[in-house]
Structure 1
Amino acid sequence: MKQIAHPEVLTFFEDNSSTFSYIVIDPNSRDCAVVDSVLNFDYASGNIHYESADQILNCIQRRNLNVVYLIETHVHADHLSAAPYIQSVTGGKIGISKHIDSVQRTFGEVFNEPAEFKRDGTQFDVLFEDGQTYHIGSIEAVAIHTPGHTPACMVHLMGDACFVGDTIFMPDSGSARADFPGGDARSLYQSIQKILKLPDETRLFMCHDYQPNGRARAFLTTVLEQKRSNIHVRHGISEEEFVAMREARDGTLGMPSLIYPSLQTNMRAGHFPKPDTNDITYLKVPISGLKQSLIATD
């Protein structure tokens, strides 16, 4: 029987977006992957800083690790990716699902991006296919397409460690929303079933935790625990019940505070749009519901 790798997983947390980032280390070499890194961004001032990413970089450098991949589980709508910044220091390939092109087409239209904005995923170094295997040193990893939250969501199974992005949360939090453009509650349910078919002992690492009822922060669970107690998809909850719950719940949710800057950068593999003619970079905010009388004219 083939032995499944048990990678060392180092966890980092960014408070403003309640996001977990990870370094996944091959036990037999210095090779590693970075999953879902965060660039700190102050929306009000437009300032960026690198505290969260530098924590990851300091750890990589202190342990003399070799970064092979910088994985994005999806195009995040609640934080900006620090992958290009980390890559500029460590090297490695930035990877995401091949279905990023669908997200780029959708939000390329939302933000009225010019034709020079490529909608084919070529901003990324690797576009993962569903079921594609790749290696982090001796670890065999598998990319699994899990649409529903977004069309380009993927979970990454690295040995016995699975990084689930926003497909599923801790058992007392349930599942992610499915109402963003291209999202779909039924697809999300079916994607979660892919996770629940993994071996019971598989470790599941969360992308977020919102600490319901004020409990301590948590990032790690197992397939077995999810099947037993996830409030949205535990054993016995049907697809129809899930879809009805998810769609009703999504109708009550507001938008993430960093959705516009996050989407514009993350669909570019974490890069900002090109500077304007004054050498300053700008991010757009689409305005809806504006009365005609308030539109400025020259």
Structure 2
Amino acid sequence: MAPVVEPFFDSTTSTFSYVIHSGIGSQCAVIDSVLGYKANSGKTNTDVVDKILVFIEQMKLNVDWILETHIHADHLSAATYIRSKVGGRIAVSQQVTQVIHSFSKLFNVSESDDELVANFDYLFDQDEEFTIGSIQCKALYSPGHTPADIAYVVAEKMIFVGDTLFMPDVGTARCDFPGGSAETLYASIRRILAYPEDTQLMMCHDYPPATRTHQSVTTVAEQRKHNIHINDKVDETAFISARNSRDKTLDSPQLLFPSVQVNIRAGEFPKAESNGLQYLKIPLNFL
């Protein structure tokens, strides 16, 4: 049976999460879930992810995978929360070890890198094939935004691109995080855009201009013709120059510090301190 995709949108972070399944009672995967977080109070909420759980229950789905396209810097992952409620394996790229190492040093975390990695249930090899029930998939290694980005190819019909690409009128991901590379991102995107032109590309984020509403899907053909950063008329040298220049003008994501500290733990919060409270750190004068 063909894969069915149900999108869920978090307006606070402009993030699309997805449930992939093949009908009532089938196996499913959740991609890029969101845990709500209010920076002014330090309070989290499960408003958006609970809608996903209600859908899973209504459809009688069995959660096989809880997939992350990368370690997000703009929202907190709800992966651990989902696993605690309905099971499933939290999975990410094997290269996540590089990202964890960079940020564990920055935040001077108490856990070892191995302990942090152990929060994830499965690490995909580069371009590893896997299944969601009977649906054939591939974890297409797509670094550049970070060293650990994956684009999930589902049934050779659609690709969940994470932060590699945005809608054509928005462009491409930044490359100025640790281990990021505009040259590497260009190569990753060209791999994605080598798929058939009618392949659907499922967005993780959309930041639309005032002239349109949020959209979650485009195609390879639309990206190759109209992407403002990397259409077929833009060569590698031009892309790298423009991407690097633009990245120098960008502010850090608003939720960078809380997101990364939670997401390198697969959605777990830091351990409680001696007073029983959990804390997120803000390094001063780092950026």
Q: Hey, what's the Cα distance between the residues in 2 that align with 1:238 and 1:12?
A: 34
- 1:93 is matched with which residue? 89
Is 1:49 matched with 2:45? Answer: yes
- 1:22 is matched with which residue? 18
Given that 2:24 and 2:59 are in contact with CA atoms closer than 8 Å, whether structure 1 keeps it comes out as no
Is 1:109 matched with 2:105? Answer: yes
Residues 187-222 of structure 1: per-residue CA shift (max 9 Å, x gap): 111110110011211111000000124411111011
Q: Hey, what's the Cα distance between the residues in 2 that align with 1:77 and 1:196?
A: 25
Q: How far off its partner does 1:289 sit?
A: 7.1
- 1:280 is matched with which residue? 277
- 1:149 is matched with which residue? 145
Match of residue 78, structure 2, among 78, 82, 86 = 82
Given that 1:6 and 1:161 are in contact with CA atoms closer than 8 Å, whether structure 2 keeps it comes out as no
Given that 2:25 and 2:59 are in contact with CA atoms closer than 8 Å, whether structure 1 keeps it comes out as no
Is 1:201 matched with 2:198? Answer: yes
1:143-292 map, 5 Å: 143-159=139-155, 160-288=157-285
Which ranges of structure 2 fall in alignment gaps of 5 or more residues?
none
Partner SS for 1:67: strand
Kindly tell me the number of residue pairs found equivalent between the two proteins: 286
Q: How far off its partner does 1:70 sit?
A: 0.4
- 1:62 is matched with which residue? 58
Q: Hey, what's the Cα distance between the residues in 1 that align with 2:93 and 2:113?
A: 18
Which stretch of the first structure deviates more once superposed, 206-215 or 128-137? Answer: 206-215
TM-score, normalising length from structure 1?
0.93
Q: How far off its partner does 1:26 sit?
A: 2.2
TM-score, normalising length from structure 2?
0.96
Given that 1:29 and 1:138 are in contact with CA atoms closer than 8 Å, whether structure 2 keeps it comes out as no
Given that 1:57 and 1:86 are in contact with CA atoms closer than 8 Å, whether structure 2 keeps it comes out as yes
RMSD: 1.6
Q: Hey, what's the Cα distance between the residues in 2 that align with 1:193 and 1:133?
A: 20
Partner SS for 2:7: strand
Q: Hey, what's the Cα distance between the residues in 2 that align with 1:92 and 1:114?
A: 27
Which ranges of structure 1 fall in alignment gaps of 5 or more residues?
291-298
Partner SS for 1:79: coil
Amino acid in the other structure paired with 1:259: L
Residues 53-99 of structure 1: per-residue CA shift (max 9 Å, x gap): 10000000011111100000000000000111111111110000000
Would the alpha carbon gap of residues 8 and 215 (structure 1) be closer, same or farther in structure 2, given more than 3 Å must change?
same
Q: How far off its partner does 1:288 sit?
A: 1.1
Given that 2:36 and 2:44 are in contact with CA atoms closer than 8 Å, whether structure 1 keeps it comes out as yes
Amino acid in the other structure paired with 1:87: R
Highest CA radius of gyration, 1 or 2?
Answer: 1
Given that 1:202 and 1:222 are in contact with CA atoms closer than 8 Å, whether structure 2 keeps it comes out as yes
Given that 1:101 and 1:119 are in contact with CA atoms closer than 8 Å, whether structure 2 keeps it comes out as no
Partner SS for 1:37: coil
Given that 1:100 and 1:120 are in contact with CA atoms closer than 8 Å, whether structure 2 keeps it comes out as no
